[in-house]
Amino acid sequence: MMYCEHGTFNGTGAAIYLCLGFIPDELYIFAGEDSDMAEARWFRDVGCTEVVDGVTFTTGTTYRQIAALTAGTGIQPYEGGDTLTAALQTSTTYGEGVYLGWDLVDYKADTTYGSATALSSWTLDTSANRTGHFNADTVSTGNRIGEGSRIIIKQNDGVVKEAIIEALTAGQGVAADEVTLSRAISTGTIQYIGGMYRTAPLAVGKITPAGVKVNNTTLINVNDEINFFRALKYA
Whole-angstrom Cα distance, residue 26 to residue 49? 17
Confidence of residue 7 (pLDDT cuts 50, 70, 90): very high
Residue from 45, 102, 29 nearest 234 by CA = 45
Whole-angstrom Cα distance, residue 201 to residue 208? 11
Confidence of residue 235 (pLDDT cuts 50, 70, 90): confident
142: left (phi over 0), alpha (psi -120 to 50) or beta: left
Mean pLDDT score, 147-159: 98
Q: For residue 35, what pLDDT is reported? A: 85
Cα dist. 85→4, 24, 98, 210 in Å? 30, 25, 11, 17
Residue 61 has pLDDT above 80, yes or no: no
Give 114-143 pLDDT, tens digit per residue: 999 999 999 999 999 999 999 999 999 999
Burial class (CB in 10 A: 0-12, 13-18, 19+), 183: exposed
Whole-angstrom Cα distance, residue 149 to residue 134? 14
Q: For residue 1, what pLDDT is reported? A: 72
Q: For residue 124, what pLDDT is reported? A: 98
Give 14-49 pLDDT, tens digit per residue: 999 999 999 999 999 999 998 889 999 999 999 899
Please answer whether residues 200 and 97 qualify as being in contact, where contact means their C-beta atoms are separated by less than 8 angstroms. Answer: yes
Give 166-224 pLDDT, tens digit per residue: 999 999 999 999 999 999 999 999 999 999 999 999 999 999 999 999 999 999 999 99
